[in-house]
Amino acid sequence: MTLLSLLGVVSSAIFSGASLLYATLGEIINERAGIVDLALEGVLLVSAATGFAVTVETGSPYLGVLAAMLAGAALNLLFGYLVIGRRANQLASGLAVMFFGFGLSALIGRDYTSARINSLPRFALPGTSLIPALSTSQFKFDPLIYLALPVTVLVWWLLFHTRWGLGLRAVGENAQTAFAAGRSPQRIQYQAIIGSGLLAGLAAAHLSIAWTMVWGEFMTAGRGFIAVALVIFSKWHPLRAIAGALLFGGAVAFQLLMQASGIQISPFLLDTTPYLLTLIVLIAWGGTRRHAAPASLGRVYQGTE
């Protein structure tokens, strides 16, 4: 095990953790407004496919990222229409949109499965050029990774230090009361859904355009669900989501380390580590979630007469 391959593992962990962080942040915004969004997996797929296709067609990864974000917001808006506009069951609507995303992403990505793209540029961490081992090609990151932490802080500030965030959290706790206090629950929930769609788009764009640079059917491999689980782990708090993303990145790093170390473990068994780890974390933290969860999470706001 050389230092170089160790660095490769760490950088893979950072890459996979960053895209998960964006997805988790989006879900936190949603759930803080009282909406459980199981559509996330499908939204990620559609955004990844759209972003990738636009990057291939225009040659610009930046336009690709933009397209992925817009696609994420658009598909989430469809979900929002069902659960806010039509007051449908959130879990069933989420799964319906997820199925829709499975099919739609396959249709969008159909002609791009073997396409190559210009990726986002990657920069070395400032200062690391001084250390020879770190100045390798392995240890460079794209702008979306550098943006992940500022975006997390931004979401935290928006949710906990602005009037808008107060209203949003109030809707998640008790929409009736928020309405009585002069807020419009529907409008706030739509805003939350669009915001989380944009973040899901960023997550997917990072996955397909910046990191793997390919498109494949079902390439997100359950990241959407892992993000939903990490929301519980992070107790609906954006800053704690960083720990969740690091954890998942760690699972990926572990997987790669085991493969690189030459220990004979089936890759199919190693594939299950992120899901099992997420499950174990859920069990370990699940008992304490009661106090942290928004009180009317998953409840359909029926409007106030």
Partner 1 sequence: MTSIPDKRPPLAAWLVKSGAVVLRYLAIFVVAFTLFGVILWIAGKDPWLAIRDTLTYTLGSGRGLSEVVVKMTPLLLTALAVAVPSRVMLINIGSEGQLYMGACLGTWVALSFTGLPAWVMLPFMLFMGAVGGALWALVPAILRARGLVNETITTLLLNYVAPSLVTFFIYGPWRSPGNSFYPQTLDFVPAARLPLLGDTRIHLGLVVGLVMLGLYWLLMKYTRWGLEMRAIGGNAQAAKRSGIPVTTYLILALCIGGALAGVAGIAEVAGAHGRLRPGFSPGFGYTGFLINWLAGGHPLGILVMAFVVALITSGGDILQINQGLPFAVVDILLAITLFVVLARPALRLKGKRA
Tell me if 295 contacts partner 1 by CB under 8 A. Answer: no
Nearer to partner 1, 170 or 228 (CB): 228
- How far apart CA 195 and CA 250 sit, in angstroms, is 27
Tell me if 133 contacts partner 1 by CB under 8 A. Answer: no
Q: Let me know: does 39 contact 94? Beta carbons within 8 Å.
A: yes
Among 1, 3, 58, 103, interactor with partner 1 by CB under 8 A: 103
What binding mask, one character per residue, do residues 46-85 give for partner 1 by CB under 8 A, x or -? --------------------------------x--xx---
Residue range at the interface with partner 1 (CB under 8 A); choices 15-23, 179-187, 204-212, 266-274:
266-274
Among 91, 131, 180, 243, interactor with partner 1 by CB under 8 A: 91
Tell me if 234 contacts partner 1 by CB under 8 A. Answer: no
Nearer to partner 1, 87 or 122 (CB): 87
Q: Let me know: does 51 contact 203? Beta carbons within 8 Å.
A: no
The residues binding partner 1 (CB under 8 A) are 38, 78, 81-82, 86-89, 91-93, 95-97, 99-100, 102-107, 110, 217, 221-222, 225-226, 228-229, 232, 266, 268-269, 271-272, 275-276, 278-279, 282-283, 286-287
